[in-house]
Chain A
């Protein structure tokens, strides 16, 4: 038995890539040849080792959100699409998502364009998922990050942000509802600036994100009706978290937290 006749087939044999007939022939040889059997075992071992070596690598939450943002921007009509910055940080996507969907829907609906009411509803659902993803993403990335120089109270944050952003930013004060301000930072994209405040419920540590972006006048509020909620709302739930949005002063405010939708609506109504 001459191993040289089989050497060239051992790799493909080890990988299960030989034609059935040749496979049988090589298998018969490998069964009887210790050296070739060892080679085949080593090739398979390398495959297993390489799999193990790189097995732990997972995309970061930040990258996952960044890609979801980019895809969302791609899915909107080009006329309303924001120019995607190369480097998005986590909070920016919230403002982008809200702006893209809210800007796009009424105009497209008015034009009778390619987005149906049903399609828009689906898109809103996707945005809710994105906002929820952002909320959790921000918490995961560091809910404790409070931007240097920002006051530690809602009015103070709104004042500084308003001066900085040039519109009347709304930062609801949730302290009377049993929450404490955890951190705040700016968020926004070109043409759609905003702020992001994270509140923590004192009783159980549940976080609620409050995003405030420049008010979008074109937003129609006729498409969502939430029982018990005043005027317009963008509502949805995903992964146990609820999203509620409304207009306030110069801004559009969106709240997101891992609590029942009714509780979030009540919380929103309490501070509007």
Chain B
């Protein structure tokens, strides 16, 4: 790493700290782990920066890709330790319990405005693969192609995860919306 590339790193990469921080918080759901993930992401990025070509891949997607890998590495290590129920992959049970979206709980019936806290909790309760695509899509405004690069998957997978994430949100929020009488009128 030359002094020039160190300066370029500071100029082009460090400004994205807040974005990486937000994503790490949402992924890890634990402040301390999130901070470690952010640090790990920037150290890995710093080491790889001399080989990084911005023409091929934007800085933010590149950082998210590193964070994504760091998160799953951390998660893999955690899973080798006694885990919380939260870490169980509920996808395994989906077939047994049938469709998760109630017939009347579609996205078209939810008024998203005015339910910020519930929305936040609902997002955090999603499994990581859905949380990631949802946040990259919404907050970070990445394209499907960029999300696919970050997650190392096909664009079709991104689309299906996004579709499912939106509907899971609708499902999680439909009860709340009904109780609070904020469901949209048909």
B120 at the interface (CB under 8 A from A): yes
Give A70 to B116 CA distance when docked, in angstroms: 35
Interface of chain B residues 3 through 47 with chain A (CB within 8 A): 3-4, 6-7, 9-10, 14, 17-18, 20-22, 25-26, 35-36, 38-39, 42-43, 46-47
Closest to A76 in B: B1
Q: Which residues of B contact A119 (CB under 8 A)?
A: 2-3
Contact B139 A50 (CB under 8 A): yes
Report whether B6 and A126 are in contact in the complex, using a CB–CB cutoff of 8 Å: yes
Chain B proximity of A51: nearest CB distance (Å):
5
A57 within 8 A of B: yes
A162 to chain B, nearest CB (A): 33
Q: Which of B52-60, B82-90, B162-170 contacts A (4 or more CB under 8 A)?
A: B162-170
Residues in A whose Cβ lies below 8 Å from that of B123: 50, 53
| Docked complex: B115-159 residues within 8 A CB-CB of A | 116, 119-120, 123, 134-135, 137-139, 141, 143-144, 159
Is the Cβ of B3 less than 8 Å from the Cβ of A39? no
Query: Among the listed B42, B116, B138, which residue makes an inter-chain contact with A67, where contact means beta carbons less than 8 Å apart?
Result: B42
Mostly, the B contact residues are helix
Contact present for A11 and B163 (CB under 8 Å)? yes
Does chain A have a CB within 8 A of B176?
Answer: no
Name the interface size band of chain A.
35 or more
Task: Establish whether residues A54 and B17, one from each chain, have CB atoms under 8 Å apart when the complex forms.
Answer: no
Within the assembled complex, what's the spacing in Å between the Cα atoms of A63 and B20? Answer: 12
Chain B residues whose C-beta falls within 8 Å of the C-beta of A202 in the assembled complex: none
Asked if A38 contacts B163 (CB within 8 A), the reply is no
- 6 further A-B contacts with Cβ under 8 Å, apart from A42-B110, A74-B1, are A11-B162, A54-B22, A57-B18, A70-B39, A116-B3, A126-B6
**CB<8 Å pairs between A and B, sample of 6:** A15-B144, A47-B138, A53-B116, A54-B26, A86-B36, A123-B6
Task: List 6 tightest A-B contacts by C-beta distance, closest first.
Answer: A50-B138, A59-B21, A119-B3, A122-B3, A49-B112, A47-B138
